[in-house]
Amino acid sequence: MRNAQVVFETKKFNSLKTNEFVQYKRVGLTGLKVSRLTLGTNNFGGQVDRETSISIIKKALDLGVNTIDTANVYTGGKSEEIIGSAINGNRDEFVVCTKVGMPAGIVPNATGLSRKHIVWQIEQSLKRLNTKYVDIYYMHRFDEETPLEETLKTLDYLIKQGKVLYVACSNFTLEQLKRAQQVCENLSLEQIVAVQPPYNLLQRDAERELFPYCQEKKLGVFTYSPLMGGFLTGKYSENAPPPLGSRAATNPRYAERLKSANFVALNKLKAIAQEVGVPLSKLALSWILKNPVVTSVIVGASKPEQVEQNAEVVDYKLDDALYQRLSQL
C-alpha cells in the first residue's frame, strides 16, 4: 500500500477540484450534495487490482467526483479497505456509501438485517474504511426474517452514535420501502433518504412505480448497472462467446442477459449511436442523467481512462427529441 499512500500524500485536497464536468445534486430533502456520477467499486480488489483501483479513485477525485459506493461484501471487504487507504487524510471531503445485509460469512448471524449483524458489520466497515462514520448506510436487500422495527431502531441508534449520517435502502420493492417508511414514522425514527435500484435503457422496471413515488416523496435515487454489466457498451455479440475476462464470461447472472431480445434492442441502439456520432455508452449514461428523478448514477471502471470518459457524460446535453427516441425503444 506504500505506492497508494504516496499518491495521496503528494497532493492534499483542501477542496475538490472542479471543472466543467462536475455537477452536484442534493439527496432528496437533505442538505447532502453528491456528484451526479458516483464511483462504483464492486470490482476493486477483485477484477481490478489494488494499484489500479487506487489510480481510479485518484482520477475520480481529481475530476470532482465526491461520492463513492461500496459494500461490506464487495471482494470480501477488499473494496472498503482500498477506499479507506485512498481517501486517508481527506475523508470529510467525500461521501462514502456502504451497505449491510448480504451474507458476510458462514456463521448463523453473518447475514441479514438483525441488530446483531448490523452492529457487527458497521464496526468492520468503519475499520476497513478507516473512518469514524459512513455518510450513507444502505440496507443491501430486504430481510424477511427480521422485524423492520429491529432493523430501523438499530440504524437510528447508529445515527445517534454518529457512526452513520443517513440511512437508505437498496433493492427494495416499493411495498417494502413503504413499510419501512411507515415504521420510521410510527416510531419517530430517522427516515430513509434514498433508494438504490438497477436502471438502464433495457432494465426500466423502476419507472413504473418506484420513480414516481420517489419524486412525490422527494427521495434520493442512486441507480446502478447503468450499462447493464457492460452489455450496453456493445462489446458482446449475439453469435460469439463473451470476451475473455468479461462479466458474462465469468458470472451466470450476466450471461443470462445475452439473449436474442436484448440483442434486437441493442442493435437499434447501436444504429442510433452511429447516426448521431456518439458512443453508445455515453448515450446510455446521459439518458439516465436526464431523468429528473435520478440523483446520481453509480458507474464502475476498470482503468482511470474510463473514469474520465464517464465524467465527460455529465457535460453532454442530450436533446429532448433524442431522449424520447431512446426511451421509446
pLDDT value, residue 12 = 35
Q: Are 96 and 68 in contact (CB under 8 A)?
A: yes
Q: Is residue 251 part of a domain?
A: no
Question: DSSP state, 228?
Answer: T
Backbone angles phi, psi at 152, to 5 degrees: -75, -30
Task: Tell me what the pLDDT averaged over the chain comes to.
Answer: 90
Q: Is residue 157 part of a domain?
A: yes
Closest by CA to 45, choosing from 78, 74, 94, is 78
- pLDDT over 70 (residue 11): no
What is the residue range of 167's domain?
A: 2-228+290-318
- pLDDT over 60 (residue 4): no
Closest by CA to 290, choosing from 263, 261, 325, is 325
Q: Are 314 and 36 in contact (CB under 8 A)?
A: yes
- 72's grid cell: 461490506
pLDDT, tens only, 178-207: 999 999 999 999 999 999 999 999 999 999
Q: Is residue 268 part of a domain?
A: no
Q: Count of domains in the chain? A: 1
The H-assigned helical ranges of 137-246 are 148-161, 174-186, 210-217
Most confident of 70-74, 88-92, 234-238: 70-74
Q: Is residue 240 part of a domain?
A: no
Q: Is residue 115 part of a domain?
A: yes
pLDDT value, residue 283 = 96
Packing angle, helices 210-217 and 174-186, rounded to 10: 30
Q: How many CA atoms lie within 13 A of 311 on its CB side?
A: 25
pLDDT value, residue 18 = 45
- pLDDT over 80 (residue 254): no
Q: Is residue 249 part of a domain?
A: no
Closest by CA to 133, choosing from 115, 168, 160, 113, is 160
How large is the average pLDDT for residues 92-106?
96
Q: Is residue 58 part of a domain?
A: yes
Angstrom CA distances, 228 to 25, 74, 193, stand at 24, 18, 25
Q: Are 139 and 109 in contact (CB under 8 A)?
A: no
The region of weakest confidence among 15-29, 109-123, 136-150, 279-293 is 15-29
pLDDT value, residue 251 = 66
Q: Are 166 and 32 in contact (CB under 8 A)?
A: yes
- pLDDT over 80 (residue 7): no
For 226-235, letters b (16+ CB in 10 Å) and e give bbbbbbbebe
The residue that leads in pLDDT, 78 or 239, is 78
Q: How many CA atoms lie within 13 A of 175 on its CB side?
A: 1
Catalytic option among 74, 133, 166, 199: 74
How large is the average pLDDT for residues 12-27?
61
How large is the average pLDDT for residues 94-121?
97
Residues 6+ apart with CB under 8 A from 25: 33, 34, 36, 295, 296
Question: DSSP state, 198?
Answer: B
How large is the average pLDDT for residues 88-99?
93
74 is catalytic: yes
Q: Are 167 and 140 in contact (CB under 8 A)?
A: no
CATH code of 301's domain: 3.20.20.100
Closest by CA to 8, choosing from 77, 62, 44, 63, is 62
Q: Is residue 266 part of a domain?
A: no
- pLDDT over 70 (residue 16): no
pLDDT value, residue 19 = 46
pLDDT value, residue 22 = 65
Rounded CA-CA distance 101/97 in Å is 14
Amino acid at 155: L
